[in-house]
Structure 1
Amino acid sequence: MKQSVTVVQDEKGNFGTMVKDFVIKLIPAMPKWNGKTLVRKVLIPLASIILFVGLWHVGAKALYNIEADYKIQKALTDQGQEAADQMAACIASGDVSCQPNTLPSPAQVWTSFNTLIADHKAISADKAEFKAKTAALNAKREAEGKAPIVYTGRPSFVDQIFTSLKTVFAGFLLALIIAVPVGVIIGLSTTLRNSFNWLIQIFKPVSPVVWLLLVFMIVKTMTKDSESDSAFIISFISVGLCAMWATLVNTAMGVATVDKDYINVAKVLKLGPIQKVFKVILPSSLPLIFTGLRITLSVAWMVLIAIELLAQSPGLGSFVWEEFQNGANDSNSKIIVAMFVIGIIGFLLDRIMLTVQNMVSFNKNATA
């Protein structure tokens, strides 16, 4: 009995030693958070957030008071003191019918965000109920070779976010497929670079609205009598054509500036043209290519809102425009929610591209 207890104690001792050794090895690898580092990396960013929200709240309150005073004064001028008193009482009561419609406060924006999430849950429940009710009928229609009955209700805010993400990734993929091969071909030849430089310089600054109109004319002609989603097609092609130029220019520059020693090694090894491109030129050009792709993705996300708005694609652009046209008391709050969502997603997309760049090109010096 004593022997078994001793064995257990030894095992516990060995486990404790292992944990102790692990912690000792881990501590040097962990950042040393002294007081100065804590202030610089935690407290100051937190203070900047509090300052931003505080200034936003104060500014929203000031604008609210200005608009409220204007409404009361206008009622006094147009209808007299009694109407002005009624307007002041209505504003003080919080009645949405007479509230000043100006910059919303942070609390109003948070409330609108929760409203949008609750609305998404309600729409998701409606979709699930509709799918359950039509499951048998759709199975029968599928057996008969007919198209299934689909849910045609309005999309939620979250659905519109995913629509925008789908559009921007399709546009980004189109830009990559066009810009990288063309950039490699142009970069390999000084004559081609000089010949096509004028075209790049002319089309690069063209507004997304112009690209949208051009794509609209072509796609509408090509998709007549087609059941495909022309709004999505128009949107992602316009996004790709607007955003591809940074990747095209950076790819051509990266290929053109490959170290001549690498080219000479490829000649010594008697690599064919395709092997030289994939084994020497592209690996050497990856840092510049990925820099172009990061810019392309950022531009694609920025122009997407305007393009979706004009193409009537059910994404974030459509959401912002509908809320602006709606003019309801909480519309401004919902627009600001969309603004924050757009900014956060844009930041995350850039971080994802930077991470992929570091993984693929091993460029340890790549920074924001």
Structure 2
Amino acid sequence: MPLDQYVTLGRSGLRVSPLCLGAMTFGEDLGWGTSVEESQQIIDRYIELGGNFIDTANFYTRSHSEKILGDHIGRHAARRDRLVLATKFSGNLYPGDPNGGGSGRKSLINACENSLRRLQTDYIDLYWLHIWDANTPIEETMGALDDLVAAGKVRYIGVSDTPAWKIVEANLIARFRGWSSFIGLQVEYSLLERAIEQELVPMASEFGLGITPWSPLKSGVLSGKYTRANGGGGSADRGAMVDAFLNDTTYALIDELEVIAEAHQTNVASVALAWVHAQAGVSSVIIGARRLSQLDDNVRAVDVDLSADELARLDALTKPRFGFPNNMLDMAPGILNGGTTVNGVTAPTSEYVMPKGAQPY
């Protein structure tokens, strides 16, 4: 699936590339990241390959990420209109100001106006709630977002890093009141981070939200540079989070990724990305690149078509175990439909036996 084989984001008409270019590293304001020149080269290369979906946030590299995109894309109307430009609000850029961040109407609208100015554009294609603000009523946030859509400053809205029950509440309120509702869900998802499969993935499928995973390589752990053979890559600046995942379980996964990568004549990162993209509900996977070479390595994932056997082998190595109520729901087909066929699937006969002395419901 090349970058110009577009997919609709969730239950909407917004067409995006299967890989989204994440701009979190654009700018060196935090002492790390990508220079302005190389950021522009990465943008140009992504667009040259057919990509049309770029994601940033108001506080990435102290807002420099948005400024880089504005200088290179936003000020050129013909180019900007061909792209789906996404950014986020919630982050506070003004320490000490209680209304400098969050999801209240005052901060939200101010954040949007500032992002529009930095991005040098009249509208944002996809505006994400970056992280749930428990101190703001969700109806206030949804009402303010709908006002931005009505004013033509925002085309679509999405939500990131928020509990499933709150997202459902937000969208139901919006639909009952005739407001714009979330069409996309941005969450961490990788072979090493699958907790979203318990609640968020089923919720997104039920309500038609397109999933756009971030950190699909788990902060580079699955990039291919850390292997059992090199003992973790020998990088002194890789960080505690990376070190925490360099264990036998991860190395077993990387070993399997290497076997599959060799079979497809590609690299470990592209196989890991292909697995994420193959998961239920995923529309577009966010890939970050601090170097142009990293972008070229990662976009190879669009050419990797994993077989059912390969997907199953990777799935088996990291499949999470969920507690209640999932452990009960796993028995539901046998309890509810044991031995009968529903929707073309014959359920097994339940092996559930009531404990001695227990009372029925």
Both proteins in one fold, TM over 0.5 = no
Determine which structure has the larger strand proportion and give its number. 2
If the length of structure 2 is used for normalisation, what is the TM-score?
Answer: 0.21
Larger radius of gyration: 1
If the length of structure 1 is used for normalisation, what is the TM-score?
Answer: 0.21
Determine which structure has the larger helix proportion and give its number. 1
